Structure 1
Amino acid sequence: MQIENDILIRKIELKDNNMLASIIRSSLAEFGANKPGTVFFDNTTDHLYEMFQEPGSIYFVAEKDGKILGGAGIYPSTGLPADTCELVKMYLQPAARGKGLGKLLIDKSLEFAKHYGYLQVYIETMPELRKAVSVYEKFGFEYLNAPLGNTGHFGCDVWMLKKL
């Protein structure tokens, strides 16, 4: 656990599932990205705690005064090379955006990935999430012409990769 500016960054707990699923789905709906082939319709969105028990994965939750602000995780998605993980489920409540919290969560996630021994981090996203894409660019993620792996998220058509 880490506290920065009264915000607690901690690992996901079972009790977080419902609130995180709500944040993810409402964020996607807010930007018109609630379409088939995305995490909006993915059953794992309702079971993040269980999903992130997989070796090589972690999910960080940002919390302030007992309220969840959002989260981000690292996951060894299906079909990715063994040295590559995916930055996944990076979503924040609207009131938590634009304050550096997303950067903090991405930093923590990349730090975990590097420490775990991953050499690359992959992202799948959508043009509707422009602000997120611009943040990923600032972190040094570069565009790919096609997806890596087999996430099943055919609704995502922006693919990026960062070497650690």
Structure 2
Amino acid sequence: MKTPQHVEIRLIKAEDDMAIKRIIEQVGREFGAIGEGFGPSDAEVSSMSQHYSELSGYAYYVATVEGQVVGGAGIAPMDAVTQTCELRKLFVLPNARGLSIGRKLSEACIEFAKSANYQQCYLDTLSSMQAAIALYKKLGFTQLKAPLAASEHNGCDVWMLKDLL
């Protein structure tokens, strides 16, 4: 899959829900992000299209390679006072890595966040996800010493923030 014919980044549709749920669970297991305190255990995972399409300030993108969903990432509001959003659930299947899909998904999310007038973008992740952390740094995220107060995932051990202005 390293030389795909067609990579597409688009907003999630209802027919993508089962595929993205499997991807989130599979990649979560790969990195030990299972159980309470991690994104794969969130209730929204079973119906991502509904959760992200019906609410203002939310967006979830999927990446497809040759028509198959291989990853996804989303934006959701986190703190209305500081106009901070959260980059959520960036997961890419192992056989689709190395194709800049994580970067493309992240860039789509950041562009959406800017268009929704967010001022900052927060994320939490695991120190074992070194490739993701390197990508986030290239995209302008800086590492924090602790999670933001509104953070929901107490199992994560890396917290990052990007100014969007």
TM-score by length of 2: 0.89
Pairs within 5 Å for 1:97-136:
97-136=97-136
Distance 2:132 2:36 in 1: 20
Distance 1:7 1:66 in 2: 8
1:58 aligns with 2:59: yes
**What are the ranges of 5 or more consecutive residues in structure 1 without an aligned counterpart?**
none
Are 1:71 and 1:91, in contact at CA under 8 Å, matched by a contact in 2?
Answer: yes
Partner of 2:29: 29
Are 1:84 and 1:119, in contact at CA under 8 Å, matched by a contact in 2?
Answer: yes
Distance 2:122 2:60 in 1: 15
Distance 2:152 2:32 in 1: 19
Shift of 1:33: 2.5
1:19-77 CA-to-partner distances (Å, cap 9, x unmatched) read: 10110111111122324310122221112112202101111111122210111111103
Q: Does the residue aligned with 1:76 lie in a helix, a strand or coil?
A: strand
Distance 1:5 1:81 in 2: 44
Runs of 4+ residues deviating >6 angstroms: none
Distance 2:98 2:66 in 1: 19
2:115 partner letter: H
Shift of 1:12: 0.7
Distance 1:163 1:31 in 2: 27
1:124 partner letter: D
Q: Percent identity?
A: 38
Distance 2:22 2:35 in 1: 15
TM-score by length of 1: 0.89
**What are the ranges of 5 or more consecutive residues in structure 2 without an aligned counterpart?**
none
The verdict on how the C-alpha distance between 1:34 and 1:128 changes in structure 2, with shifts beyond 3 A counting, is: farther
Q: Kindly tell me the number of residue pairs found equivalent between the two proteins.
A: 160
Pairs within 5 Å for 1:147-162:
147-162=147-162
Partner of 1:71: 72
Shift of 1:150: 2.6
Higher mean displacement: 42-51 or 86-95: 42-51
Are 1:37 and 1:156, in contact at CA under 8 Å, matched by a contact in 2?
Answer: yes
Are 2:16 and 2:49, in contact at CA under 8 Å, matched by a contact in 1?
Answer: yes
Distance 1:91 1:73 in 2: 10
Shift of 1:160: 0.5
1:64 partner letter: V
1:145 partner letter: K
Distance 2:57 2:41 in 1: 24
Shift of 1:82: 4.4
